[in-house]
Amino acid sequence: MKFFSTLVAATLGSLIAMAVVVVFFFMFFLALAASSEDTPRVRDGSILVAEISGPVPEQVSGDPFSRLLTDEPALDLRTLKRALEMASVDPRISGLWLKVGTSTTPWASMQEIRTALVDFKASGKPVVASSEDFFVTESEYFLMSAADSIYAAPGGLFEFNGFAIVASFYKGLLDKLDLEAQVVRAGKFKSAVEPYQRTDFSDENREQLSELIREHETEYLEAISEARGVSVDELRALAREDAILAVEQALGAGLITGLLHADQLEGVLRSSVSADSAADLRTIPIKRYARTPASSAGLREGRDGEVAVVYAVGTIVGGTSDSDSPFVTGLVGSETFAKAMQEARESKSVKSVVVRVNSPGGFAPAADAMLREIELTAAEKPVVVSMGDLAASGGYWISMAADTIVADPLTLTGSIGVFSLFFDTGDFFRNKLGVTFDKVSTSPYADMFSGVRPLSEAERQLLQRFTDETYERFIEIVQENRGMSRDEVVALAEGRVWLGTNAKELGLVDVLGDLDDAVDIAAELAGLEEGTYTTRALPRPKSFFERMTRSMEAEAVRVWQSVSLSDAERAILDEARQLHNALRDHGTVQARMLFDVRIQ
């Protein structure tokens, strides 16, 4: 019997292994076929079709397996914008059809895309926008408003109800679990810890967030007003009084051009490019067009040198940017960043460096180590910081060594403050699990980081002193690099978050612009003329199999989550990640905007 059961198990194991191999090779050849397509042919008179929905990340690997097996988009932010720039001067492209769906891209990145669309329209080629949904959201409309003509499907709805920041608070949950969050912080606006100590916003936090969304709304309404010829006052009244409009009302208010079904748009597109029939209407998807060489569109790319774009995207941690945990994503490790900066610094072909910061900050010593790498590079080559959606706290800290800081008008930045977060889990273990703890030690402070007892007053004072010293270090860095007095920095600090437009007015950043503007400035500082240089992205994103090799379990969970979870389930998982990250950071000094500011 044992022989028989062993034989059956071995046979089943072999069959399963063979099935895995077959599936693997099928996926391999499918991905190989996808990656080995010839350079796309662009016919004269083609309309570029740009479908924009879901996330548009800072970087993608470009690995066909990642697109095939995960939810990685085909284009990242810079590639998408580069394709629009190419198309604007490409004589083979006669117009643009912008198809906008539900987007999860943050506002600053959306503004970069919108700026690229406005630049395309300035070429004189027609831009037609249509919604892929029957509910046009404000973020979708933000992109669509850049077009010459805007169309929505009849019978749909149109969101125009202002902006809000909705936050999650975990104090009630911690109370139910007998967990206590103990906080040491510097900066009265340092709201990162509020979700673990309160059930609502503090007065200081409510003040800064209210001002933040008012400024955001003003930027939004001014952009729409300029594009559609409707006054800001009329738009603001519309948001206050009507909020959710039928698309017919949006048409009457001048927000859109017309109401058409998908098949009726074909006639609009034909007339925009003077095509006589459907057969004459030539289109090319932007993800295919992006694979054509810039030279074929008429753009010059020289060989006089390179501008390196080094990405610092995610929460700042010590060590590498990799994580074996399926619950931890979006990390920028100080060691990974240092290697990328060293490569840019030591490469003879790299003439200047752009550091693309899209980070809420993180572990303060790691941020300081990253600042040092930028300082070393700035001593040899021009360095420009480009702030994306978020360059706050530690993300602002590392930006200080740049020659020029460029922020998007909708960038969230500043948050000059630090905190330490400790969790007392003693009551949880004792009351919920029946587990108790005892100790022997050589010092009364030996177990202060154990997390199974509350901090004593003496320990809290020690930690407050260390936190205050870290805050003073932050203040001094800003003071030295921004040419301000200590009092001027403190007035803008205290952990307060600013919109990019305000940060420019207050002297926290130098220029308002996007990543392309930062690259232009870096090239100019290096003496490189337009069309005489190329860019190099660092560090290179890992391919699917590199990530899979790092952690089979983590990648499998991530793939499963991407294909099986609903939006509501993903939202719950995001909350679980927030708690996981907070527990991970127990006992460390953080220069981080832990509070997740989502303007919706």
Catalytic residues: 190, 393
- Tell which residue, 467, 470, 448, has the closest CA to residue 458: 448
Distance between CA atoms of 579 and 575, rounded to whole angstroms? Answer: 7
Handedness of CA 117, 120, 124, 130 (dihedral sign): negative
Q: Among residues 344, 318, 341, 343, which one has the least CA distance to residue 331?
A: 318
**Which residues are within 8 A (CB) of 7 and not within 5 positions of it... i.e. 6 or more apart?**
none
Rounded to whole angstroms, how far apart are CA atoms 345 and 368?
18
Check: CB of residue 87 under 8 Å from CB of residue 285: no
CB 382 within 8 A of CB 522: yes
CA 201 to chain centre: 24
Element containing residue 516 per DSSP (H, E) = helix 515-525
Q: What are phi and psi of 345, to 5 degrees?
A: -70, -40
Instruction: With H, G, I as helix, E, B as strand and everything else as coil, classify residue 91.
Output: coil
DSSP-based three-state secondary structure for 560:
helix
* Packing angle, helices 232-241 and 203-228, rounded to 10: 120
Residues 203 and 231 sit within 8 Å (Cβ to Cβ): no
CA angle (263 as vertex; 261, 269 as ends), nearest 5:
100
What CA–CA distance (Å, rounded) separates 572 from 578? 10
